[in-house]
């Protein structure tokens, strides 16, 4: 049920008035009215449409989004919390889900991961109707607090040593390295264009080392 259901007649009346304004515009053009007069009427129509859009957006935020978060919370607790933790910060069976968007994942990437599971792993996954996934994503977005939520871990100095010994013959970083110095990837693609569907910027089992963690509800 759409958020504007409680005052649908009011929305319809406003749209009917806008329809009349547009017909008036057509008549003005037919009558060869002065350009500025026509443009003034166009501005009035745009303002009226924007007013309706703001009304619908407020309804959507107050009703649709709130309901989606409520439903997504219930779904998460029932189907995902046992692996990813009650707070979404990860547990023995699943990775941290509190920084997926901050790490660069998109709604569609996360949706596909929830729906199909982790590519090239034995992680079982069969989530159910697609209509249950979008509310789940609405809830997960409430857990993503932005850049501060993603805290780098590990030893950077040790990582530099490992990179220098194993990666720098091909990869170019911070002014030094091998032949891949124009954004190429070892797999043949370009930076920002994953070589494989599962290389979309989020991690595998138990937090992994490829991003913020894949959703495995």
Rounded CA-CA distance 200/109 in Å is 7
At 91 the three-state DSSP class reads strand
Any idea how long the chain is?
217
Q: What is the pLDDT of residues 185-206, one digit of tens each?
A: 444 444 444 444 444 444 444 4
Hey, which of 65-79, 110-124, 152-166 has the most confident mean pLDDT?
65-79
Mean pLDDT of 174-186: 59
Mean pLDDT of 120-136: 75
Q: What percent of the chain has pLDDT over 90?
A: 28
pLDDT at 210 over 60: no
> What distance separates the 2 farthest-apart alpha carbons in the chain?
78
pLDDT at 127 over 70: no
What pTM did the predictor assign?
0.48
Calculated CA dihedral for residues 81, 85, 88, 90, nearest 10 degrees: -130
pLDDT at 139 over 80: yes
* Residue 28, pLDDT score: 95
pLDDT at 128 over 90: no
Contact 205, 211 (CB under 8 A): no
* Residue 79, pLDDT score: 86
Q: Torsions phi, psi of 146, nearest 5? A: 100, -170
Rounded CA-CA distance 191/202 in Å is 15
Q: Which DSSP state fits 197?
A: T
Mean pLDDT of 207-211: 40
Mean pLDDT of 128-140: 86
Confidence band of 35 (pLDDT split at 50, 70, 90): very high
* Residue 121, pLDDT score: 66
In terms of Cα–Cα distance, which of 204, 160, 166 is closest to 186?
166
């Amino acid at each position: 049920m759409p958020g504007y259901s409680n005052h649908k007649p009011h929305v319809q009346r406003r749209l009917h008035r806008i329809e009349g304004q547009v017909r008036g515009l057509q008549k003005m053009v037919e009558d060869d009215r002065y350009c500025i007069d026509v443009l003034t009427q166009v501005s009035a129509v745009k303002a009226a449409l924007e007013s309706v859009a703001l009304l619908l957006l407020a309804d959507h935020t107050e009703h649709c989004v709130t309901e989606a978060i409520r439903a997504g919370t219930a779904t998460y607790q029932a189907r995902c919390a046992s692996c990813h933790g009650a707070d979404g910060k990860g547990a023995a069976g699943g990775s941290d889900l509190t920084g997926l968007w901050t790490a660069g994942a998109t709604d569609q990437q996360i949706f596909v991961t929830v729906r199909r599971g982790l590519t090239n792993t034995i992680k079982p996954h069969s989530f159910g109707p697609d209509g249950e996934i979008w509310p789940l994503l609405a809830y997960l977005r409430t857990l993503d607090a932005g850049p501060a939520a993603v805290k780098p871990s590990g030893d950077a100095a040790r990582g530099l040593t490992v990179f220098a010994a194993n990666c720098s013959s091909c990869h170019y970083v911070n002014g030094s390295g091998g032949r891949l110095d124009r954004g190429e990837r070892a797999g043949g693609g370009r930076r920002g264009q994953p070589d494989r569907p599962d290389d979309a910027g989020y991690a595998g089992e138990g937090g992994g080392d490829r991003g913020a963690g894949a959703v495995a509800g």
